Amino acid sequence: MKRIGVFTSGGDSPGMNACLRAVVRSGIAAGLEVFGIYRGYEGMIEGDIVQFEKHHVSNIIQRGGTVLKTARSAKFMTPEGRREAHANLLKHGIEGLVCIGGDGSFRGAMTLHEEFGIKVMGCPGTIDNDLFGTDYTIGFDSAINTVVTAVDKIRDTADSHNRLFFVEVMGRDAGFIALHTGIASGAESVLIPETKTYIPELIQQLEKGWRQNKTSAIIIVAEGDDGGGAYEVAEKVKEKFNKYDTRVSVLGHIQRGGAPSAFDRVSASRMGAAAVKGLLEGRTNEMAGIINRQIVYTPFSKATKHNQEINPQLLELVEILSQ
Ligand code: F6P
């Protein structure tokens, strides 16, 4: 293998640039020519491909977002779109790819391998932390730090006004961001898609807090929770329990931006270099993740199909610590 391509795809996450830098620099160090593919599969179809030298990735390790840009491509879902993408890879002599993204991006990579035999490795880039085969995805740590900073601020005003706040966080259909930020910000309760939400139980808990003279409360609601988003849950609670003045805050895309944490930069650098190493060893269709501090390669089929499990001890901890 002489030439490889790298692209970022799906929702961006802080640390993608650090991962890109690692792919480019470790690839060049191993004697490869490395091509940056802009705007994910969309840029692959349109031939938006540029050879990267070491200096192309200077001064990006500290930057959020992705300098390669990203996109969700509808055209890549069609056989014609994929043929065009493959033709562009052939034109540049690209024999291997590193895909930095989440499960949808990996599924695209698997199809590319199936149809054209191109070797593909992945690095888990998503704030959601929902991929099986890695303890942490690139961007998760930065995102939870952003959420915690925001919730600390919300707590100040909640406390001043004796208010109950429902704070909605991202995560699509996974509750990792909610659970971790709930613990780190000392939330009264955390509502996540992985467990059934019982509004009467939540009200009971709030009533108990009220009786114990808690003057304010924070409930973290994962956007994918079965009880609905923060607005819906707040309405349901207000109907039966109105001791506190209630407010809702949806944190939204600030969770995806900002400088990556040191943890994300290190993980992303390790994973990027490991993906290149994997390609050089002849691996394909695998994600380079980190489990128990070691690089582990997990087949895309497992990384995307199996759910990363919520640690029940963390759920228990939220309950104990919020009393
Ligand atoms: O997968 C990352 C993520 O930020 C999810 O947490 C969220 O549900 C989704 O992307 C939002 O996507 P978009 O930026 O397309 O609105």
- The residue whose C-alpha atom lies closest to atom 14 belonging to ligand 1 is 11
* pLDDT per position as a tens digit, 29-40: 999 999 999 999
CATH code linked to domain 3-139+260-305: 3.40.50.450
Q: What is the mean pLDDT of residues 229-251?
A: 97
What is the position in ligand 1's atom list of the atom closest to the CA of 255? 4
Q: What is the pTM of this model?
A: 0.97
CA of 241 to the centre of ligand 1 (A): 32
Q: Per-residue pLDDT tens for 253-272? A: 999 999 999 999 999 999 99
79-129 tens-digit pLDDT = 999 999 999 999 999 999 999 999 999 999 999 999 999 999 999 999 999
Residue spans of the domains in the chain: they are 3-139+260-305, 143-256
Does 178 score more than 90 pLDDT? yes
Q: Verify whether ligand 1 is closer than 6 Å to residue 146 (CB atom).
A: no
Q: Do domains 3-139+260-305 and 143-256 have the same CATH topology?
A: yes
- 128, 130, 225, 264: the catalytic one is 128
**What tens digit of pLDDT does each residue of 129-176 get?**
999 999 999 999 999 999 999 999 999 999 999 999 999 999 999 999
At 266 the pLDDT is 98
Long-range contacts of 190-196, Cβ-Cβ distance < 8 Å, separation of 24 or more:
190/219, 190/220, 190/222, 190/315, 190/318, 191/219, 191/220, 191/221, 191/222, 191/225, 191/227, 191/233, 192/222, 192/224, 192/225, 192/310, 193/222, 193/224, 193/225, 193/226, 194/310, 195/310, 195/315, 196/226
Proportion of the chain above pLDDT 70, given as a percent: 100
Span 143-256 CATH architecture: 3-Layer(aba) Sandwich (3.40)
The yes-or-no verdict on residue 308 having pLDDT over 90 is no
**11 within ligand 1 shell (Cβ under 6 A):** yes
User: Nearest 5°: CA angle at 246, between 241 and 248?
Assistant: 125
What confidence category does residue 323 fall into, taking pLDDT thresholds of 50, 70 and 90? confident
